[in-house]
Amino acid sequence: MEAGLTPWRLTEIRTTGSLFALLIYLALKGRLPLLRPGKGELGLLTLFGVIGIAAVQSFYFFSILRLHVSIALIIEFTAPIWIVLYLRFYKKVKISNSMWLGLVAAFLGLILVGEVWKGLTLNGLGVISSFLDALSLAAYFVMGRALGKRRSTDTMLVWGFGITSILFAVVQPWWSFPFHIFKEEINLNGHFTGHHLPGWALIAFIIIVGTVLPYLCVLKGVNALSPQVASIIGMLEPVLAGVFGWILLKETFTTIQLIGAAVVLVGIFIANEKIPDTAIPDTAMEV
């Protein structure tokens, strides 16, 4: 992005690139016929793409344009809270005290990691967008678990990335994409200042390592654990972002941030509860 690619264009190329990467993978495996939606499945697949992927990314970028990044992230990572509230009060699932305690601990830890008090000038539209982002992320975890009952994660993501790619192509037509970024030699910054890689290599890295692999892992985790546990583990994202920022970009942690990271880890450790599949919706109507 520092080389001139906007967040919106980066999202467009990463989702479309991920779509084609997964399509090639399915084609090589002879699994393209598995993309055909089953009975009553089309609505949930469409919602998964529109809300679970397109809305999550769009609301996030809208939020960080108007809020301090740390505040936008903290609000986004209220997603586990909304999932637990949804399960408790809508699906009438009993939530253990350890889950509530772990959830609160992990969230308070994130507040320390983000040092949100350093950016408390709140923009109304930014706050609304951040909460919509959190709700969309919560829906992503719940719908991912529902779809995981009937189809593989790779075919699920082809639908999600496919719908997102179409939406972005309508809003930002491909004929206006800055294709020159693929040929540019881009400075890597941080510990690698002075070293360059072509734009196409960095974009390919973002597509494979930064998009396809993590999305597959998240959905695998959702189905092996539960939406709320997987989303709480997802709270590690800001912590690990700080670690990689320290390793690659010479960014540093404060003492308070280190304490917050430890609190997040403790919260994740104690918030481990398996929710029965009967509590997870099966159709778009139930969602």
pTM, two decimals, is 0.82
Least confident among 41-45, 121-125, 216-220: 121-125
Q: Rounded to the nearest 5 degrees, what angle is found at the Cα of 13, between the Cα atoms of 12 and 15?
A: 70
pLDDT for 144-176, tens place per residue?
988 988 889 999 999 999 999 999 999 999 999
Asked if pLDDT for residue 280 goes beyond 60, the answer is no
In the chain, the largest separation of any two C-alpha atoms, in whole Å, equals 57
Contacts of 244 (CB under 8 A, 6+ apart): none
Structure token pair of residue 237: 């994202």
Q: How far apart are CA 102 and CA 84, in angstroms?
A: 12
Residue indicated by tokens 């910054």: 189
Q: Which residues contact 47 (CB under 8 A, 6 or more apart)?
A: 139, 143, 284, 287
CB–CB of 178/9 below 8 Å? yes
